[in-house]
A = this chain, B = another copy of it.
Amino acid sequence: MVDVLPASPSQEKLRAELFAHGLLIDSGVPGVVGQGAAFVEVLQRVDAMVTKLAAVDRPERMSFPPVMPRSLLGASGYLRSFPQLTGSVWSFHGDESAAAQQADRADRGEDWGVHQRMTDVALVPAACHPVYPAMARRGPLPVDGVTIDAGAALVFRHEPSEDPARLQSFRQREIVRIGTASTVLAWRNDWRARANDMLLGLGLDVVMEEANDPFFGRSGRLLAANQRAQALKFELLAHITEPNRTAVASFNYHLDHFAVQHGIALSGGEPAHTACLGFGLERIVVGLLATHGLEPAHWPATVRTALWS
């Protein structure tokens, strides 16, 4: 088992309060929580704000389940770059006697993995991953490319933590832009401003920073440095707990990485470039609760109007 990331005192306090008020529901496993009624409602309102903000892009709506073909983990490079975060799905393979042994082992608290085999699916690690093969299957795209609204997609990261803002299973409110390099870069930069304004309008203390993904190992440090040198990733970081800010939205330019991996071309055969943005919906809701208090009915009028108008 991996080590559980410990919470800071301020994270531990917030986590206890969210559980005590029924906003989040403890499952016993760090980073796996249910949501109470008030949390669900605020999350849906933030989701709807993003939908409204995205309307000007006239995006095409798609929705993908929390599992995807396991082969995509390799094809996207994710398995090489972030092995520590992946989740593969296994299932039982055997006869009645093996099934009984497996259940007996589980009842005794023993390891029952010996009876499991890897299936063809894995958990979706980032909401944009299923979008690329879907667009590749469609054939050449219009010259202006496409904008895909993948909605509030459920993604998985294997990083058990006691920080209530770091979940293993969470909702990424995801939009993907595919087109020429200049088109997708302009779109990504425009959204940096739109998202910044939206979150400031909700009273969150956010700052925009260049960032990198958590590439694995020593060789990953070079990839992270490259990502920063090319300014491929920006994050909006909110002040939720001490000691550090928490990323609540990210704005990513992938050059032609995913388009080449999956074979996505524009109408004239030009190579496509891709960009995506993701709002961490649970993190934004936790940030709002930490900033404005645990009772949404008592939040400042400007915040309530922005969410419920």
Interface residues of chain A, those whose CB is within 8 Å of chain B, are 1-2, 25-29, 32-37, 39-41, 60-69, 71, 73-74, 79-80, 83-96, 99-100, 102-103, 106-107, 111-113, 115-121, 123, 130, 133-134, 137, 151, 154, 156, 158, 160, 167-170, 216-219
Contacts and interface: CB of A to CB of B under 8 A. Distances in A.
Q: How many copies of this chain does one complex carry?
A: 2
A7 to B, nearest CB: 17
Contacts of A167: 65
B79 A102 contact: yes
A80 B100 contact: yes
B29 A69 contact: yes
Given A92-B84, A96-B216, A96-B218, A121 B63 contact: no
A106 B32 contact: no
Contacts of A89: 87-90, 123, 156, 158
Given A66-B154, A96-B217, 15 more contacts: A2-B93, A2-B119, A28-B133, A67-B123, A74-B103, A74-B107, A79-B103, A83-B103, A86-B92, A87-B91, A87-B121, A89-B90, A89-B156, A99-B217, A121-B168
Nearest to A103: B80
Contact of A62 (B29, B34, B86, B88): B34
B92 A113 contact: no
Contact of A27 (B2, B37, B80, B130): B130
B130 A34 contact: yes
A68 B28 CA distance: 9
B106 A73 contact: yes
13 contacts: A2-B91, A2-B119, A32-B68, A34-B63, A40-B62, A65-B167, A67-B156, A67-B169, A83-B103, A84-B91, A84-B92, A88-B113, A90-B90
Interface residues of chain A: helix, strand, loop or mixed (majority): mixed
Nearest to A89: B87
A119 B154 contact: no
A69 B33 CA distance: 10
Contacts of A32: 65, 67-69, 121
A207 B94 CA distance: 35
A117 B63 CA distance: 29
A219 to B, nearest CB: 7
Contact of A61 (B37, B115, B134, B156): B37
B27 A68 contact: yes
